[in-house]
Amino acid sequence: MKNQALQKTMLTEFFSMNKYDNYAKNLNCMYAQFPEYFRWNQQSKIWEQRKQREVIGRILGAHPSEGERYYLRILLMHVRKPTSFTDLRTVNGRVCASFHEATDVMGLLQTDNAAELWLSEAVAYQMPNSLRQLFAAILVYCSPKNPAQLWLQFQDFLSEDIK
């Protein structure tokens, strides 16, 4: 029998908190907001309620070429208080076959400003070369409506190291 603590992750325990903890349920948080109210105890692998709310946290990045991991991340940025991976894939009572399908059904890939939001978030912690790779992936995988406008909006960040 495997040690249960080894199976616990920040994400699976986030789901558990949303299912069983009344305070977490009432917060109605998305994954990226959760660290404002709870801190992760690495030793015991549990979320503990914060005493102070000043925190800097971020959700790990994912690239469109990473497939399901990328779509999981998008869902975690938009779905409030999910209780499981299946819950994340459930849209209007229907369980989608994949995270990609769920993001598509929710319309998260078709929004006019989705690529702008992804690049804005990435600007905060990625180097220009990584931003250019993300921009290229957005062009290939997401087909933004106005790529030239998107380039102009982020041109300074995308070309910072080649000026």
Q: What is the dihedral of CA 140, 67, 149, 120, to 10 degrees?
A: -150
- What confidence tens digit (pLDDT) does each residue in 68-112 have? 998 998 899 899 999 999 999 999 999 999 999 999 999 887 665
Above 70 in pLDDT, residue 163? no
C-alpha angle with apex 74: 68 to 75, nearest 5 degrees? 90
How far is Cα 76 from Cα 33, in angstroms, rounded to an integer? 10
Q: Which residues pair with 48 in a beta bridge?
A: 39
Mean pLDDT within 122-150: 83
Instruction: Give helix then strand counts, H and E, for the chain.
Output: 9, 4
DSSP state letters, 24-43: HHHHT--GGGGGGTEEEETT
Stretch 124-131: mean pLDDT: 79
| pLDDT, average across residues 23-33 | 93
Cβ-Cβ contacts under 8 Å for 64 (sequence gap 6 or more): 70, 134, 137, 138, 140, 141, 142
- Greater pLDDT, 137 or 79: 79
**Residue of 75, 67, 76, 59 lying closest to 122 (CA atoms):** 59
pTM score over 0.85: no
- Provide the pLDDT for residue 72: 94
pLDDT for the residue numbered 1: 44
φ, ψ for residue 47 (rounded to 5)?
-85, 130
**Average predicted confidence (pLDDT) for the chain:** 86
The residue written with tokens 């598509």 in the block is 104
Question: Within 10 A of 21 (CB to CB), how many other CB atoms are there?
Answer: 14
Could you tell me the residue ranges of all domains in the chain? 1-110
- pLDDT tens digits, one per residue of 8-27: 999 999 999 999 999 999 99
Evaluate if residue 4 carries a pLDDT over 90.
no
